[in-house]
């Protein structure tokens, strides 16, 4: 069984309750990792602000 440290539990709580995420340095080029991450986050229900 996976044992989480207290700070990991807090991080998990934050990530599961958050609905808006900013991706700083996001590219508009579809082959870039930052673009793909932002698209994935959108596909699972987050509102993503990118710069």
Structure tokens at 41: 């986050």
Residue 33 lies in a domain: yes
Q: Given this model, what pLDDT does residue 9 score?
A: 85
Mean pLDDT for 25-41 is 94
Q: Given this model, what pLDDT does residue 47 score?
A: 95
With a cut of 90, say whether residue 12 has pLDDT above it: no
Map residue 7 onto helix, strand or coil: helix
Structural domain of 33: 17-50
Q: In total, how many domains does the chain have?
A: 1
- Segment (H or E) for 22: strand 20-23
- The model's confidence at residue 42, banded by pLDDT at 50, 70 and 90, is very high
The reported pTM is: 0.70
Residue 46 lies in a domain: yes
Running DSSP on this structure, what letter comes out for residue 44? Answer: T
């Amino acid at each position: 069984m996976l044992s989480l440290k207290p700070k990991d539990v807090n991080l998990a709580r934050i990530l599961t309750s958050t609905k808006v995420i900013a991706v700083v340095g996001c590219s508009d080029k579809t082959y870039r990792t930052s673009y793909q991450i932002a698209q994935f986050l959108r596909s699972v229900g987050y509102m993503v602000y990118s710069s």
